[in-house]
Structure 1
């Protein structure tokens, strides 16, 4: 799993953002083109961007950092895992890049998104529906990494 730190990174299923209620029933209008509920696609345009991913992780970090000290302990990280299925199986050690027993905001938010790395064909840090169609993955959800094995 350590080898994943440089290249393979967490990518989220299109799931509720940390500031949304994940217990709310899903309607068909909540579904993204990737076939999932409310996603880290913040503007719901069907384009997954690096900025949207970082925003999603930033909101998750802020919500979990209960004492506002700029780090997540393993107990605070459990809050991240309960925010929605996008990070439900995330592994603390994966994000704790220097293995010091705490996760800084930069360690957490700075992780690139493997889904974008894999499907962003033109390198613009955006995955469009056209790029997904070109790879035959238009029905796949942006699934996750950084998860427990």
Structure 2
């Protein structure tokens, strides 16, 4: 099951290719991440979920993400019908790394990833309250809003 941070984790990639990414349903995201049951995903909840995703992406366990790990994760999380031309996957993965890499050293630490995950989550925060409701997430994903 994909978490909210996993959905947002490829940052630019997932934004550009949202219709092709196998993302969890809004209900699944809220079941797994809305830990206080208030109907909104908070910054604290996103921060709590991000390290697990980071560790999943960090395939060699060295505590940093490099472009090849981002590319492998992106390909693995894409919908089965999504085929990435090698040059596109490389370019998108590089841009994603650059977006997440807060100190611009060519790699992403867990701390940098957590910050980037929260920043991406907050893109869906239409009312600026630093929480994302089901409706905000559905609109951000381009889905019909369900009551």
Q: Counterpart of 1:101 in 2: which secondary structure?
A: coil
Q: Is the 1:71–1:103 contact (alpha carbons within 8 Å) kept by the matching residues of 2? A: yes
TM-score, with normalisation over the residues of structure 1?
Answer: 0.51
Q: 1:1-149 residue pairs with structure 2 within 5 A?
A: 10=11, 15-16=23-24, 31-32=25-26, 38-39=28-29, 42-43=32-33, 47-84=40-77, 91-111=96-116, 112-116=118-122, 119=125, 121=127, 123=129, 125-129=130-134, 132=136, 139-141=139-141
Residue ranges of structure 1 left out of the alignment (5+ in a row): 1-9, 17-30, 144-149
Give the whole-Å Cα distance in 1 for the aligned partners of 2:67 and 2:111: 16
Q: What is the CA distance between 1:105 and its match in structure 2?
A: 0.8
Higher relative contact order (CA 8 A, sep 6+): 1
Residue ranges of structure 2 left out of the alignment (5+ in a row): 1-10, 79-88
Question: Between Structure 1 and Structure 2, which shows a larger proportion of helix residues?
Answer: 2
Aligned residues: 110
TM-score, with normalisation over the residues of structure 2?
Answer: 0.51
